[in-house]
Amino acid sequence: MATMIGWSDSHLEMRAAVRQFVEREIVPLREELEHGNLPPYDVLRKYVRTFGIDEMNRDRYEHERAGGARVSNEDRFERAVMTLMPMIEICKHSPGMVTAMGVSMNLAGNAIKKGTPEQAERWALPLLTLEKVGAWAITEPDSGSDAFGGMRSTAVRDGDEFVLNGSKTFITNGPYADTTVFICKLDDGVTPSRERKVLSFILDRGMPGFEQSAPLRKMGMHSSPTGQLFVTDVRVGMDRLIGGEKALDGGDAKQTGGDKGGARDAARATFASERASMAAQALGIIEQCLSVAVDYARNRIQFGKPIGEFQLIQNKLAGMEVARMNVENMLFRYLETMREGKSLSFAEASAMKLYSARAATEVALDAVQVLGGNGYMAEYHVEQLARDAKVLQIYAGTDELQITAIAKDLLRR
Ligand SMILES: Cc1cc2nc3c(=O)[nH]c(=O)nc-3n(C[C@H](O)[C@H](O)[C@H](O)COP(=O)(O)OP(=O)(O)OC[C@H]3O[C@@H](n4cnc5c(N)ncnc54)[C@H](O)[C@@H]3O)c2cc1C
What are the tens digits of pLDDT across the range 317-370?
Answer: 999 999 999 999 999 999 999 899 888 888 899 999 999 999 999 999 999 999
CA of 402 to the centre of ligand 1 (A): 11
Question: Which of 101, 107, 172, 395 most suits a substitution to test ligand 1, by most atoms within 8 Å of the C-beta?
Answer: 395
pTM > 0.85: yes
Q: Are residues 108 and 141 in the same domain?
A: no
Residue 273: per-residue pLDDT? 67
Report how far residue 185's alpha carbon sits from residue 138's, in angstroms, rounded to the nearest whole number. Answer: 11
Nearest CA to 293 out of 390, 377, 372 is that of 372
Cβ–ligand 1 contact at 250 (below 6 Å)? no
Boundary-marking domain end, from 257, 280, 304: 257
Amino acid symbol at 137: A
What pLDDT score was predicted for residue 272?
A: 58
Residue 397 DSSP code: S
Tens of pLDDT, residues 101-112: 999 999 999 999
User: What is the SS3 assignment for 201-262?
Assistant: EEEECCCCCEEECCCCCCCCCCCCCEEEEEEEEEEEEHHHECCHHHHHCCCCCCCCCCCCCC
Q: Is the CB of 221 under 6 A from ligand 1?
A: yes
Question: Which letter, b or e, does each residue of 47-76 get, where b requires 16 or more Cβ atoms within 10 Å of its Cβ?
Answer: bbeebebbebbeebbeeeeeeeeeeeeeeb
Ligand 1 mean position to 276 CA, how many Å? Answer: 17
What range does the domain containing 59 cover?
Answer: 9-133
Pocket test for ligand 1, best of 200, 398, 399, 402 (most atoms within 8 A of CB): 398
pLDDT of residue 1: 55
Report the alpha-carbon distance of residue 229 to residue 180 in Å, rounded. Answer: 10
Same domain assignment for residues 143 and 240 = yes
Distance CA 274, CA 259 (A): 21
Question: Could you tell me if 166 and 250 lie in one domain?
Answer: yes
Q: Please tell me the predicted confidence (pLDDT) of residue 256.
A: 33
Beta strand pairing call for 134-137 and 179-186: parallel
Run of H or E including 169 = strand 161-172
Going by C-alpha positions, the residue among 407, 303, 300, 412 that lies closest to residue 354 is: 407
Q: Is the CB of 398 under 6 A from ligand 1?
A: yes
Cβ of 216 below 6 Å from ligand 1: no
Number of H helices, E strands in the chain: 15, 9
Q: From ligand 1's centre to the CA of 171, what distance in Å?
A: 11
146: in domain: yes
Same domain, 125 and 184: no
Instruction: Compute how many other C-beta atoms are within 10 angstroms of the C-beta atom of residue 101.
Output: 25
**pLDDT for residue 254:** 36
Instruction: Give me the number of domains the chain comprises.
Output: 3
Pocket test residue of 168, 170, 221, 391 for ligand 1, highest count of atoms within 8 A of CB: 170
- d(C-alpha 291, C-alpha 307), whole Å: 15
Ligand 1 close to Cβ of residue 171 (< 6 A):
yes
Q: Which atom of ligand 1 is nearest to the CA of 391?
A: 53
Q: Could you tell which of 110, 139, 281, 401 is best to mutate to test the pocket of ligand 1, judged by most ligand atoms within 8 Å of the CB?
A: 139
The closest residue, in CA terms, to atom 50 on ligand 1 is 170
Residue 191 backbone phi and psi in degrees, to 5: -65, 135
Q: Is 144 in the pocket of ligand 1 (CB under 6 A)?
A: yes
Please classify residue 88 by burial: count the beta carbons closer than 10 Å to its beta carbon, then call 0-12 exposed, 13-18 middle and 19+ buried. Answer: buried
* Residue 249 φ/ψ, nearest 5 degrees: -70, 170
Q: Please name the amino acid found at residue 377.
A: M
- Paired with 174 in beta bridges are none
CA dihedral 174, 179, 182, 186 (to 10 degrees): 160
Q: Which amino acid is at 29?
A: L
Based on the domain organization, do 275 and 403 belong to the same domain? yes
HSE value, Cβ hemisphere, 13 Å, CA-based, for 12 = 4
Q: Is residue 4 part of a domain?
A: no
Q: Which of 257, 276, 302 is the last residue of a domain?
A: 257
Q: Are 234 and 161 in contact (CB under 8 A)?
A: no
Q: Strand 161-172 relative to strand 134-137: parallel, antiparallel, unpaired?
A: unpaired
In a domain, 325, yes or no: yes
Rounded Cα gap, residues 254 and 232, in angstroms? 28
If asked whether residues 273 and 398 sit together in one domain, one would say: yes
- Report d(CA 238, CA 119) in Å as an integer: 11
Q: Which residues contact 316 (CB under 8 A, 6 or more apart)?
A: 293, 366, 369, 370
Strands 179-186 and 154-158: parallel
Say yes or no: 100 and 184 in one domain: no
DSSP state of 342: -
- Same domain? For 392 and 279 the reply is yes
376 & 406 share domain: yes
For residue 109, tell me if it sits in a domain: yes
Task: Report the nearest-CA residue for atom 48 of ligand 1.
Answer: 398
Q: How far is the CA of 289 from the centre of ligand 1 (A)?
A: 26
Q: Are residues 271 and 408 in the same domain?
A: yes
Q: Are 73 and 340 a contacting pair, CB within 8 Å?
A: yes
- CB atoms near residue 348 (< 10 Å): 19
Let me know if residue 2 belongs to a domain. no
Does 85 sit in the ligand 1 pocket, CB within 6 Å?
no
Same domain, 106 and 224: no
Report, as ranges of residue numbers, the positions in the chain whose pLDDT lies below 50.
251-260
Q: Does ligand 1 lie within 6 Å of residue 111's CB atom? A: no
Q: How far apart are CA 95 and CA 93, in angstroms?
A: 6
- The residue among 71, 104, 133 that closes a domain is 133
The reply to whether 72 and 164 lie within a common domain is no
